[in-house]
């Protein structure tokens, strides 16, 4: 299984020289780096390990001004060499780089004392003791250590043996998608755009399609290189170069993320919800609410401001000037705006394209005072349901009692109980039953139908055609208001009643229920007939005229004794029922 090993440590402590001694590769490739004698950009090399095969090495800059580049080099590491020079000892960037390693959860670290030819054995032992005292303060443990000289080669073989052990003890990062932050972009004539980065998650093949985040544009892999060799496929945990086919206007630059299309594991946006794991500084009050900061994650960084949650100070809203992409729960560091001081380590829990107060309030509530087991758990808490059988229940919640199962569906129990309560309340209040659409629930129609079906299976409600009603309720179970309204309609006889003029509480609602029950007929607008009187009118007409007979409005008025106010809407209803057909101003019985 491939591994990535990185360097960390103060400027001019011999990181690049050590990499060259280990691998024979000079990682300083910029003219300015050679001129100044220090690393500015990331450098890359490879080491042949007797157990783990080809190990990718990332050499990071040690100067505080290039701390963002250091973060870009460490996000994908499996293990790291923390380098301290024998002639300088522990320095400020030694601490800062160790904090970055801690923030990135890189636990497999080897302490390497370089330039051992410049110190006596006793001094080297004191340097290791002092360095481990600093490690104890920052990461809560001491580190295995080895002293080496890149100049003389002393300790190099021992270091290689320790690297083998270090990699064997490291824990691999396993995102559920191919996952590569772009750290370099080249455009070569006749070849096109090539990007480099550390691949995590799943492997890639030539011809695979990927999505570019945060722009959400697509690209396709034309060819792959690993350590300067052409390959058809690449395993996760390796340094790789991808030659890509892009759209004409597609923009691809350092800091962008390549991953599977529409992966729910990938978050992108300008508004981030972050968990603050540790604040590293007390200068200027530490991490201040609403302060301008810079976030560095993967090979990306962006400027914005942090807004702390008033109920859980470990949660904050990070409002950025430009969108950024990350994995769910990805680790990052906050840097003081305009400087290089590392303020805090954070994890990205959610992201949104823009700020919406209610959306963030809901997200804050989901994460308040608790950790979630997976991105599926966040979505489950927000939506309240999941159908995908591939997602395990333990990925949804750490407490199985919070989950209710129905067939292939799993529901967040408190959400389901709220929805069911609302449906049953509607059923209780509805004399004549109700339709699916009459219950306003903030869930997709498919999910709503499943919840209704569950209640039917549990005999709490029952369905007839498209109408639902409380189980056991009959059409005779009328409320007092409904009975009063029906009685008023009966007493009105052929005069009917106008609902908007009836002084009965909730008259319109009761009228709708009585219509569903077939006890009341709406002629038009607010004019209603008791069903008995409507039937008498219809029967008198159809007793006089047989199928095929034609009659006028005047004829209908004469037969029924009703005025145009009543007879016209009755004739219109009979047309809708398919009992009559209009022919100019006359009607024909069907």
Query: Is a pLDDT exceeding 60 seen at residue 31?
Result: no
- Ranking 150-164, 185-199, 372-386 by mean pLDDT, the lowest is 185-199
Query: Is a pLDDT exceeding 80 seen at residue 258?
Result: yes
Query: Is a pLDDT exceeding 90 seen at residue 116?
Result: yes
Query: Is a pLDDT exceeding 50 seen at residue 401?
Result: yes
Regarding predicted confidence, which is higher, 281 or 454? 454
Q: Which residues contact 58 (CB under 8 A, 6 or more apart)?
A: 4, 5, 6, 7, 42, 43, 44, 73, 74, 76, 77, 198, 239
- The closest of 89, 106, 88 to 97, measured between CA atoms, is 106
- The closest of 275, 310, 270 to 290, measured between CA atoms, is 310
pLDDT of residue 35: 40
Mean of the pLDDT values across residues 256-278? 94
Q: Which residues contact 179 (CB under 8 A, 6 or more apart)?
A: 199, 200, 201, 202, 257, 258, 259, 266, 327
SS3 of residue 469 by DSSP:
strand
316 Cα distance to chain centroid: 16
Query: Is a pLDDT exceeding 60 seen at residue 38?
Result: no
DSSP conformation letters of 254-281: TT-EEE-TT-TTEEEEEEEEEEEEEE--
Pick from 188-197, 459-468, 525-534 the range whose average pLDDT is largest: 525-534
Mean of the pLDDT values across residues 192-218? 92
Query: Is a pLDDT exceeding 50 seen at residue 40?
Result: no
Mean of the pLDDT values across residues 53-76? 78
Query: Is a pLDDT exceeding 80 seen at residue 286?
Result: no
Q: How confident is the model at residue 69 (pLDDT cuts 50, 70, 90)?
A: confident
Query: Which pair of structure tokens corresponds to residue 106?
Result: 């890189």
Report how far residue 103's alpha carbon sits from residue 347's, in angstroms, rounded to the nearest whole number. Answer: 9
pLDDT of residue 350: 96
pLDDT of residue 287: 87
pLDDT of residue 33: 36
pLDDT of residue 211: 95
pLDDT of residue 39: 40
Average pLDDT, rounded, for the chain: 89
Alpha-carbon torsion 529, 532, 533, 536, what sign? positive
Mean of the pLDDT values across residues 495-515? 89
Instruction: Encode pLDDT of 442-458 as tens digits.
Output: 999 999 999 999 999 99
Question: Under the phi-then-psi rule, with left for phi > 0, alpha for psi from -120 to 50, and beta for the rest, what region is 184?
Answer: beta
Instruction: Encode pLDDT of 287-333 as tens digits.
Output: 889 999 999 999 999 999 999 998 898 999 999 999 999 999 999 99
Report how far residue 288's alpha carbon sits from residue 194's, in angstroms, rounded to the nearest whole number. Answer: 41
pLDDT of residue 283: 67
pLDDT of residue 533: 94
Instruction: Encode pLDDT of 408-444 as tens digits.
Output: 999 999 999 999 999 999 988 887 778 898 899 999 9
Q: 133 vs 130, 137, 139, 513, CA distance in Å?
A: 5, 7, 10, 79
Mean of the pLDDT values across residues 336-364? 91
- Ranking 101-110, 145-154, 265-274, 473-482 by mean pLDDT, the lowest is 473-482
Q: How confident is the model at residue 491 (pLDDT cuts 50, 70, 90)?
A: very high
The 10 Å Cβ neighbour count of residue 340 is 16
pLDDT of residue 65: 63
What is the end-to-end Cα distance of the chain in Å, rounded? Answer: 82
Instruction: Encode pLDDT of 508-524 as tens digits.
Output: 888 888 888 888 999 99
Q: pTM of the entire structure?
A: 0.79
Q: How confident is the model at residue 36 (pLDDT cuts 50, 70, 90)?
A: very low
């Amino acid at each position: 299984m491939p591994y990535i090993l990185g360097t960390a440590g103060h400027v001019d402590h011999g990181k690049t020289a050590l990499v060259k001694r280990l691998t024979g590769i000079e990682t300083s490739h910029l003219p300015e780096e050679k001129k100044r004698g220090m690393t500015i950009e990331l450098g890359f090399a490879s080491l042949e390990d007797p157990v783990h095969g080809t190990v990718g090495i990332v050499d990071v800059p040690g100067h505080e001004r290039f701390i963002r580049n250091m973060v870009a080099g460490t996000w994908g590491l499996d293990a790291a060499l923390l380098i301290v020079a024998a002639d300088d000892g522990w320095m400020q960037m030694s601490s800062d780089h160790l904090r970055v390693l801690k923030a990135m959860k890189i636990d497999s670290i080897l302490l390497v004392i370089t330039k051992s030819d410049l110190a006596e054995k006793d001094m080297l032992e004191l340097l290791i003791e002092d360095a481990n005292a600093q490690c104890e303060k920052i990461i809560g443990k001491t580190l295995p250590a080895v002293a080496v000289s890149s100049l003389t080669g002393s300790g190099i073989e021992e270091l290689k043996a320790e690297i083998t052990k270090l990699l064997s003890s490291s824990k691999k990062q396993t995102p559920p998608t191919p996952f590569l932050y772009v750290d370099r972009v080249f455009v070569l004539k006749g070849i096109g755009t090539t990007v480099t980065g550390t691949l995590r998650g799943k492997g890639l093949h030539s011809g695979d399609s990927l999505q570019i985040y945060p722009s959400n544009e697509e690209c396709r892999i034309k060819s792959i290189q690993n350590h300067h060799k052409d390959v058809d496929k690449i395993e996760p945990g390796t340094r790789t170069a991808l030659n890509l086919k892009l759209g004409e206007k597609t923009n691809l630059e350092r800091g962008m993320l390549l991953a599977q299309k529409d992966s729910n594991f990938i978050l992108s946006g300008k508004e981030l919800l972050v968990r603050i794991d540790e604040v590293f500084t007390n200068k200027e009050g530490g991490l201040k609410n609403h302060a301008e900061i810079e976030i560095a994650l993967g090979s990306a960084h962006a400027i914005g401001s942090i807004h702390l949650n008033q109920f859980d100070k470990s949660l904050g809203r990070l409002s950025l000037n430009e969108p950024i992409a990350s994995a769910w729960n990805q680790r990052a560091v906050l840097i003081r705006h305009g400087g290089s001081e590392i303020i805090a380590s954070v994890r990205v829990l959610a992201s949104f394209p823009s700020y919406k107060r209610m959306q963030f309030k809901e997200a804050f509530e989901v994460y308040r005072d608790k950790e979630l087991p997976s991105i599926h758990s966040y979505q489950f808490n927000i939506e309240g349901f999941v159908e995908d059988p591939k997602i395990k229940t333990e990925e949804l919640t750490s407490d199985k009692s919070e989950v209710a199962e129905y067939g292939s569906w799993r529901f967040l129990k408190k959400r389901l109980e709220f929805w069911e309560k609302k449906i049953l309340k509607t059923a209780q209040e509805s004399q004549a039953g109700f339709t699916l659409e009459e219950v306003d629930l903030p869930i997709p129609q498919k999910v709503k139908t499943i919840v209704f079906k569950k209640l039917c299976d549990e005999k709490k409600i029952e369905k007839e055609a498209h109408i639902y009603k409380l189980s056991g309720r009959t059409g005779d179970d009328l409320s007092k208001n409904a009975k009063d309204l029906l009685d008023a309609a009966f007493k009105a006889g052929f005069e009917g009643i106008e609902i908007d003029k009836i002084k009965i509480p909730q008259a319109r609602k009761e009228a709708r229920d009585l219509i569903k029950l077939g006890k009341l007929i709406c002629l038009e607008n607010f004019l209603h007939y008791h069903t008995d009187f409507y039937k008498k009118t219809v029967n008198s007409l159809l007793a006089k005229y047989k199928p095929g007979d034609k009659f006028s409005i005047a004829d209908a008025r004469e037969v029924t004794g009703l005025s145009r106010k009543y007879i016209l809407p009755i004739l219109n209803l009979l047309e809708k029922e398919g009992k009559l057909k209009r022919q100019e101003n006359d009607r024909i019985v069907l």
